[in-house]
Amino acid sequence: MNIFQNLSIKNKIISIILFVSTLTIVIGFVIVGIRDVKRLKQEMLLNNLMNTKLIGEYTIAPLTFGDNAGAENILSKLSTIPEIVSGALYDHNGVLFASYKKNDEVFIPPLFENPDVLVKTISQFADRSLNIDNPIVYENVRYGIISIQVDTSMLIKKTGENILILAIILLGMIIFSFILANRFQKIISEPILELARLTRKISDAGDYDVHIERKTNDEIGVLYEDFNNMLNQILNREAARDLAEKNLLKAKEKAEESDQLKSAFLANMSHEIRTPMNAILGFAELISMSDSEVSSTEKENYVKLINVSGNNLLRLIDDIIDISKIEAGQIKIYKKKCYLNETLKDIQQSFIELRKINEKENIEIRLNELAQSQNLIIKTDIIRLNQIFTNLIGNALKFTEEGFIEFGYEIVNNEKLLFYIKDTGVGMDQNKKDLVFDRFTKIEDDNSRLYRGAGLGLAISKSLVELLGGNIWVDSALSAGSTFYFNIPFDELKESNRKQKAISISENYDWQNKTILVVEDEPANIIYIEEVLKATKAKVLRASNGKEAVDIYIKNSNNIDIIIMDIKMPVMNGFEATRQIKNLNKNIPIISQSAYAMQGDIDKGLNAGMTDYLIKPIKPKMLLSILNKHLNNLAPND
C-alpha cells in the first residue's frame, strides 16, 4: 500500500485499471480454462465412447462368424485415432478374440474376468489413460466386449497448449489494456495535473491573476470552478488588502505629519504663551515698583499692556481648546433662533471696543447696508457664528494697518446665505489662499514674526463653517487686502409680530438696593466682577463653591435678587447648586458663566434651571446688560 501511495496519479490509475482488468481476465480465463479441460475430457470420453461402440458394432458379424482376421482388420482402423493406445476384443465368454496395439507393438491384453457382469459401458480415467469397456450387444444378444485404452497425455498436452494460448492472450490483453489505460488515464489525471501545475505556478510566482478553463461537467469541472472562485476571492481580498494598506499608509503619513505639526505647534505654543506671559510678568513687576521710579501714567500704560497680553493669552487658550474639540469631533451644533442683525451689530460693537485695545482706532469697522437695514431671523448656532465672525474680523484687524474692515451678508438664493469680511490689509499670495485654512499655518514665515497668533483661527473657522453646513474661501492679492467669504444654509424663520424691544444700552445702571450673589472659586474672577459692578452700587455677596452658595442663599433668601454662577467648582458644582436653589425659589434668576466651547454645559445649565448664560471672557458691557435684563425682568419669553 505504501508503494502504491508513492505512485503518481497517472501510475495509480494505470495500475488500478491493470489490476482490475487483469483480475477479471484471469478469473475469466480460469473459468474458461477449467470448463475447457472439463469439456475436453468430456469430448474425449464421448468421442472414444462413440469410437468404441462403433468399432464394437462393426465387430458383431466377425464375432458371430468367428472371423478373427476381420475383427483384427476392424480393430486396426483404431490407428487413425492417434490417442488410442490399444484395443482388445473379447468374445462373449471373455476369450480374447482380436487385439490392436499402436505402432504394431507387441501387446498382451489383460484377461477379461467375468464378462457376464459387464452389462453396460464402463469408462474410467486412470493415471494418464482412459479405459473404456463396452459390451457388444445386438438384438439383446451379447456378442462380446470391446476394451479400449486411450492415452490422456494428449489431453494434458492439449490443456497445456490451451493454457499457453490463454497466457499469451492474457499477456496481449494486459499489454493492450496498459496501452489503453495509459491513453485514457489522461482524461482523469490530466486535469488534476494541470491544476497541480497551475497551483505550483501560483505558489512559485505569487500571481493570483490566473484562470483555469473548465472543460468538463464532472467533479473536476466543479473543482476548477471552485478553484477559480477561490482565486477571485484571493484577488478581491488582495485588492481590498492593498487598498486598506494604502489607506493605512496614508493614515500613517497623515498621523506622522500631524504628529510633526503638533510638535511644531507645541513649540509654537510654548513660545506664544511665553510671550504674553513675559509681558504680563514684566509689566506687573514694573507696576510694583515705587512711584519714584515709574510714573503713574507709565503704570497705567503697563496695566493696559498687561490687559492686552492677558486677552491674547486667553484667546490662545480658547483656540487650543476649540481646535482639540474639533479634532476630537466633540463640537456639537445647537441651532436655534438667531436675530442675525442684532448679532452682527453686537459683533461690530465689540470690535469697535476691541480696536481701542489694539491701538487701531484709525481703522473703520463697518457693517454693510443689508445687515443694518434688514431684520433677518434665521436658525443657526449663534455661538459658532459669533465665533467665526470674531475669528475672521480679529484676523482682519490683525493684518490691517489702515483703511477699513467691512463685513455683512448677502442673500444669494433661497438656500445659501453668504457672509463676507473685507479688509484693506496686507493681503496674501495666490498660492497661500488654500494654505491659510490649514491648521498651524501662519501668513508670515519664521523670520519675521510680525503677526502674533498660533495660526489656529482660520482652521477653527473653516471647521465651524463646515459644521454649520457651508464653505469658506478667500479672495486676496498681496498688498490689496483680503476678502473672506463663507456661506451657511439659509434657514429663515418668519416672525411677523416681533416686539421691538428697545433695550436701553445705558452705561449707567443704578442697582443701589439690589443684592447679587457671585459664585466663583477663582478669586481673581470675583474681584473682576466686583470691579465691574462697583459703578452700579449693587451689593455683592461671595461664595467660593456651590455648597457655600446654597448656604448663603438659605440665609439671605429674601434679599438676593440675582445669582451669577460658575459651573466648575470644588465641593459642589454649578448645576447641583442651581437645582437646589431653584428648589427653594424657582423664580430667582441664575446666570451661568461658561466658555465658548462649553455649549453642552450651557444647555445642561439651562436644563438645571439656569435663567441665562454669560460667555467667558465676560465683557463688562455684556455682564451689565444681562444683569439689567433680568433685574428689570426684561427677558423675552421664548
Partner 1 sequence: MRINILTYKYLKSKRDFIKRIIIFLFLILISFKSFSQANVYVLKAVYLEKISRFIKWPEESLMNDIDKPFIVSVIGKTPLAKNLEQIYVIQKINNKEVVIKRISNLYEIENSHILVIAESEKKNLQNILSITKDLPVLTISEAPDFAKKGVLINFYEEDNKLRFEINETAVLQSPLQMSFYLLNSAKIINPIKIN
Contact footprint for partner 1 (CB under 8 A)? 57-58, 60-62, 64-68, 70, 91, 93, 113-114, 116-117, 138-139, 141
Which helix (H) or strand (E) segment holds residue 585: the answer is: none
Residues 6+ apart with CB under 8 A from 444: 450, 451
CB of 173 to partner 1, least distance (A): 51
C-alpha cell at 138: 445386438
Is the Cβ of residue 141 or residue 240 nearer to partner 1 in the bound state? 141
Is the Cβ of residue 21 or residue 73 nearer to partner 1 in the bound state? 73
Among residues 413, 396, 392, 414, the alpha carbon closest in space to that of 405 is found at: 396
Among residues 462, 459, 351, the alpha carbon closest in space to that of 400 is found at: 351
Residue matched to cell numbers 466682577: 529
Q: At what angle do helices 457-468 and 382-399 cross, to 10 degrees?
A: 150
Is the Cβ of residue 132 or residue 458 nearer to partner 1 in the bound state? 132
CB of 55 to partner 1, least distance (A): 12
CB of 131 to partner 1, least distance (A): 16
Helix (H, G, I), strand (E, B), or coil: what is residue 123?
strand
C-alpha cell at 54: 462403433
Is the Cβ of residue 139 or residue 204 nearer to partner 1 in the bound state? 139
Is the Cβ of residue 57 or residue 603 nearer to partner 1 in the bound state? 57
Is the Cβ of residue 61 or residue 631 nearer to partner 1 in the bound state? 61
Secondary structure, 3-state, 595-629: CCCCHHHHHHHHHHCCCEEEECCCCHHHHHHHHHH
CB of 60 to partner 1, least distance (A): 4
CA angle 406, 355, 457 (to 5 degrees): 70
Is the Cβ of residue 140 or residue 414 nearer to partner 1 in the bound state? 140
Q: Classify burial at 41, counting beta carbons within 10 Å of its beta carbon; exposed 0-12, middle 13-18, buried 19 or more.
A: middle
Contact 425, 384 (CB under 8 A): no
CB of 45 to partner 1, least distance (A): 23
CB of 64 to partner 1, least distance (A): 5
C-alpha cell at 199: 497551483
Q: What region, left, alpha or beta, does residue 419 occupy, with left being phi > 0 and alpha being psi -120 to 50 degrees?
A: beta
CB of 27 to partner 1, least distance (A): 43
Q: Classify burial at 159, counting beta carbons within 10 Å of its beta carbon; exposed 0-12, middle 13-18, buried 19 or more.
A: middle
CB of 48 to partner 1, least distance (A): 21
Contact 61, 70 (CB under 8 A): yes
Is the Cβ of residue 61 or residue 622 nearer to partner 1 in the bound state? 61
The 10 Å CB-count burial string (b at 16+, else e) for 418-430 is bbbbbbbbbbbee
Among residues 71, 77, 115, the alpha carbon closest in space to that of 93 is found at: 115
Is the Cβ of residue 70 or residue 489 nearer to partner 1 in the bound state? 70
CB of 130 to partner 1, least distance (A): 21
CB of 154 to partner 1, least distance (A): 29
Is the Cβ of residue 100 or residue 302 nearer to partner 1 in the bound state? 100
Cis preceding linkage at 617, omega within 30: yes
CB of 113 to partner 1, least distance (A): 7
Helix (H, G, I), strand (E, B), or coil: what is residue 110?
coil
Is the Cβ of residue 93 or residue 260 nearer to partner 1 in the bound state? 93
